[in-house]
Structure 1
Amino acid sequence: MSLHDLHRPLGSTGLLVSPLGLGTVKLGRDQGVKYPNGFTIPDDAAARNLLAQARDLGINLIDTAPAYGVSEQRLGPLLRGQRQDWLIVSKVGEEFDNGQSHYDFSPAHARFSVERSLQRLQTDCIDLLLVHSDGNDVAILRDSGIYQTLADLKREGKIRAFGLSGKTVEGGLLALEQGDCAMVTYNLAEQTEKPVLDHAAAHGKGILIKKALASGHVCLAAGQDPVRASFELLFGHPGVSSAIVGTINPQHLAANVATAAVVIRDYTAPLR
């Protein structure tokens, strides 16, 4: 069971994405993360095997960020010779140093950050660049000038699409009005950002889902499969382009893909 024949448009960006994307925070950072269980950052061999497995299962979307520790630096060499197989999502605005996040949404830092990400990822173009919000979504978009910088970088060919990884309905809606995509939290436990999905579905915009499985915290009644229930919720909404899953467990990755494939084939209406 794979996702190879289930890729779908990311809004009107022209990018075709797999319905599941691979999140890579666990490849680069084990501090300040909110998972129910501890984990060990995989070595290069394990990371390379995980990426190969994801690709073989039909995943073509990979999500990283400067705030994910050394994730970008590791992905550059790990993806060498495979760039054409992947759509890379990265971010600007949040930095993570010495166990702490700090934020800079200035145009100058955004441009610096993108150039650094291009170097780290060993590529000349990032497919989707998202503003990594601190929660003040509307103020960032209206006052910082960062979205204009991302529009300039898109015209320059350094990014192919841009948007916001936000935390509010108002921010998500504003992000979609002026950009290509929003990354929102949407899962069995948290659905307050559903209006952003509705807007995206009505206006041909892209949506990526973060915390699709509630960072491993999803709980249901006995006998219910939380992964299947989660994917039925997500892929039952026509606005969802792809959901990011951050597992580094090969068995979990294979099971997630198999479940998503069944749900998409059996429980969603045909894509428009």
Structure 2
Amino acid sequence: MDLPVVGFGSAPLGGEYGAIGESEGVRAVRASLEAGVNFFDTSPYYGRTLSESRLGRALAGVRGDTVISTKAGRYGQHQQDGFDFSYARITASIDESLSRLRTDYVDILFLHDIEFGKASAIFDEALPALADVKKSGKARFVGVSGYPLDVLAEVVETGAIDVVLSYCHGDLLDGSIADSLILSARAHGCGVVSASPLHMGLLSPAGPPPWHPASLERRRAARALIDRCDALGVSVVAAALSYSIGIDGVASVLVGISNPTELAAVVAAVREPVDRAVLDDLVATRIPVGGKPWASGIR
């Protein structure tokens, strides 16, 4: 399966980054299709099914021109009731998602944030469930998503998945995906999708949402990159997108898009990326932040 260089991250359709009207979201989706960005990623977790429902309505009548990925395993905010990686829940979840998306199959089904599931649940139940969903034709390809690179690599190395989705590890602030996960994926015939080139808003001039888990140290490092871009006369958004898109071994970069204006910035970065010398300057001058940016999961 070929993916466009960038994909439409549909978390904003569920209001994860602030309230958004359905008509505005539909305009963004349709503008994305017109621009050739036809890969849409969603999840029942985004807006607690709102993103899937809105995306399904927006893509009504044009499903054949699109690539859709959704997820299973994460459904609510809290650990005690928000995650369920059991075989029964995964196989039921895909049917619920297909109904909301108004289609009879998705192109990719990911397990959502696998670091929040016990290893036994992921390996003994969820991965077999993915295999059966794929066998049924309800998903063309299957994969896992999450934050800790070592947890993702552990699944990649089983050879049980087709694609892995990592976020906030393939951007100007943290490019560690290139030194670890991409190498593992290549060795096991697994595709790589990278998400959140703006580090979930940390590299946005407007700043991150209130719930962002980054430390003060990491926020200062992001601010320094933004200031450096200002000094160089370069948009930090364009620089961040150009850097992420340019990482060798990434099939597609998912960008959260709320409206046609944001889409236009993404398309511009693809068509006219920031000069490599500028990106090298930013990488060379960024403030090193050791260790993992934040803790995620139970493993």
Q: Same fold (TM over 0.5)?
A: yes
1:198 to 183, 198, 223: 183
Distance 2:267 2:195 in 1: 16
Q: Deviations over 1:121-157 (max 9, x none)?
A: 1111010010002524781675441011111111111
Following superposition, which runs of at least 4 residues in structure 1 exceed 6 angstroms of deviation? Answer: 264-267
Instruction: Assess, with a 3 A threshold, how the Cα gap between structure 1 residues 22 and 259 changes in structure 2: closer, same or farther.
Output: same
Larger radius of gyration: 2
2:92 to 97, 100, 112: 112
Specify every segment of 5 or more residues in structure 2 that has no aligned partner in the other structure, as ranges. 204-221, 278-299
8 Å contact 1:90–1:130 — kept in the other structure?
A: yes
- Secondary structure of the residue aligned to 1:145 is helix
8 Å contact 2:165–2:195 — kept in the other structure?
A: yes
1:75 to 47, 50, 55: 55
> Which amino acid in structure 2 is aligned with residue 187 of structure 1?
D
Distance 2:98 2:64 in 1: 15
Distance 2:197 2:163 in 1: 17
Instruction: Assess, with a 3 A threshold, how the Cα gap between structure 1 residues 265 and 199 changes in structure 2: closer, same or farther.
Output: farther
User: How far off its partner does 1:52 sit?
Assistant: 1.2
Aligned to 1:12: none
Instruction: Assess, with a 3 A threshold, how the Cα gap between structure 1 residues 144 and 105 changes in structure 2: closer, same or farther.
Output: farther
What RMSD over aligned residues (CA atoms) do the two structures have, in Å? 2.5
1:262 to 266, 272, 275: 272
Instruction: Assess, with a 3 A threshold, how the Cα gap between structure 1 residues 121 and 265 changes in structure 2: closer, same or farther.
Output: farther
- Secondary structure of the residue aligned to 1:94 is coil
Instruction: Assess, with a 3 A threshold, how the Cα gap between structure 1 residues 128 and 140 changes in structure 2: closer, same or farther.
Output: farther
Matched, 1:23 2:9: yes
> Which amino acid in structure 2 is aligned with residue 261 of structure 1?
R
Aligned to 1:154: 134
- Larger mean CA deviation between 62-71 and 162-171 belongs to 162-171
2:41 to 44, 56, 63: 63
- Larger mean CA deviation between 189-198 and 76-85 belongs to 189-198
- Secondary structure of the residue aligned to 1:154 is helix
8 Å contact 1:60–1:87 — kept in the other structure?
A: yes
Aligned to 2:258: 248
Distance 1:266 1:55 in 2: 28
Specify every segment of 5 or more residues in structure 1 that has no aligned partner in the other structure, as ranges. 1-14, 268-272
Distance 1:140 1:216 in 2: 33
Q: Deviations over 1:32-81 (max 9, x none)?
A: xxx5xxx32122x2222111110111101001100012111122222110
Aligned to 2:160: 178
- Secondary structure of the residue aligned to 1:17 is coil
Equivalenced residue count is: 244
Aligned to 2:20: 41
Distance 1:102 1:64 in 2: 17
Distance 1:251 1:92 in 2: 30
> Which amino acid in structure 1 is aligned with residue 66 of structure 2?
W
Aligned to 2:195: 210
> Which amino acid in structure 1 is aligned with residue 27 of structure 2?
N
Aligned to 2:29: 51
Q: Deviations over 1:232-257 (max 9, x none)?
A: 43233221011111121322211211
Distance 2:154 2:196 in 1: 21
Instruction: Assess, with a 3 A threshold, how the Cα gap between structure 1 residues 93 and 145 changes in structure 2: closer, same or farther.
Output: same
Aligned to 1:10: none
8 Å contact 2:238–2:265 — kept in the other structure?
A: no
User: How far off its partner does 1:229 sit?
Assistant: 2.7
Aligned to 2:215: none
- Secondary structure of the residue aligned to 1:88 is strand
Q: Deviations over 1:85-142 (max 9, x none)?
A: 11101000000279x9710000000011001001111111010010002524781675
> Which amino acid in structure 1 is aligned with residue 192 of structure 2?
I
- Secondary structure of the residue aligned to 1:216 is coil
Distance 1:230 1:257 in 2: 13
Aligned to 1:89: 69
Instruction: Assess, with a 3 A threshold, how the Cα gap between structure 1 residues 104 and 163 changes in structure 2: closer, same or farther.
Output: same
